[in-house]
Amino acid sequence: MTLHASRERWLIGLALLALYLIWGSTYLAMRFAIESFPPFLMAGLRFLVAGGGLYAYLRWRGTPAPTGRQWAACGAVGALLLLGGNGAVAYAEQTVASGIAALVVATVPLWTLLFAALWKKYPTRREVVGVVIGFAGIVVLNLDGNLRASPAGAVILLLASASWAFGSVWSWRLPLPGGMMTSAAQMLGGGFALMAVSFAFGERLEAVPSLKAAAALAYLVVFGSFVAFSAYLYLLHSVRPAVATSYAYVNPPIAVLLGVGLAGEHLSSQEMVGMGVILAGVVLVMAKRR
């Protein structure tokens, strides 16, 4: 093995580790952050700071600014991903444990498969079976525990997952700037949409944020938005798509373990069964893509 190949393997391993651990930990970080910050205000600050910093850096490096059409496309996708997706998850985590939220969001690949059919990319029989299994896991989760205690939270999480998936599929058809500029523009567009909803809901800081909440928000900006997303882009150009998107069924167990270990969350035996069923459906879909 050459030195270059060895270095490449190490970089891929580190990128996967970053994606698994960081994106798996962002659910708990959001829960800690909303202890002081209202959910939409927290998410808006996160993506405006991250997107603004990345945009300024790219422009300093000479990357062309998006055109008007590209800004409009990034704004629409950013609203679906970051307002309808991420912001809604933060809102739901006021009443739903972070680990359970991660389990519901694990259905994103299943929603993506369904929405792809709108553009005539129809699922195979095996993928349909995976979708059915995955949503059966959601039913199991709703029979007991967190989601049964918060039906509104369950609905919001499902809508958030669907919004993220639809935004991802729709983005295939839109004129995006490409590269890291797409990420920067989408974070800015989504950040402004989140701040608009925060203003409409009358959100405001009731007191000075706690050190834990401020640290959690900083973690989400630096690691959740900069480091993990950069690692994801690197993997998309270095490994098979099935490997790069394997976070979909690795993040939930990590989020559950962190929630139980660091936040005292409880996971019932029935919820463990639901987790297994959901992940089985996602793995079946991802295996077919591979």
pLDDT over 70 for what percent of the chain?
89
Task: Name every residue whose Cβ is closer than 8 Å to that of residue 121 and which is 6 or more positions away in sequence.
Answer: none
Domain ranges of the chain: 19-289
Is residue 46 within 8 Å of residue 220, measured between CB atoms?
Answer: yes
**DSSP labels, 222-241:** IIIIIIHHHHHHHHHTTS-H
Confidence of residue 113 (pLDDT cuts 50, 70, 90): confident
Task: Name every residue whose Cβ is closer than 8 Å to that of residue 93 and which is 6 or more positions away in sequence.
Answer: 27, 30, 31, 34, 39, 101
Residue with tokens 């919004």: 163
Helix (H, G, I), strand (E, B) or coil at 290: coil
DSSP class of residue 145? S
Tokens of 203: 């959100």
Confidence of residue 256 (pLDDT cuts 50, 70, 90): confident
Mean pLDDT for the stretch of residues 189-198: 96
Mean pLDDT for the stretch of residues 103-107: 80
Distance CA 91, CA 33 (A): 11
Distance CA 158, CA 174 (A): 24
Predicted local confidence at residue 290, as pLDDT = 47
pLDDT in tens, 150-175: 778 888 998 998 998 898 888 888 89
Is residue 168 within 8 Å of residue 112, measured between CB atoms?
Answer: yes
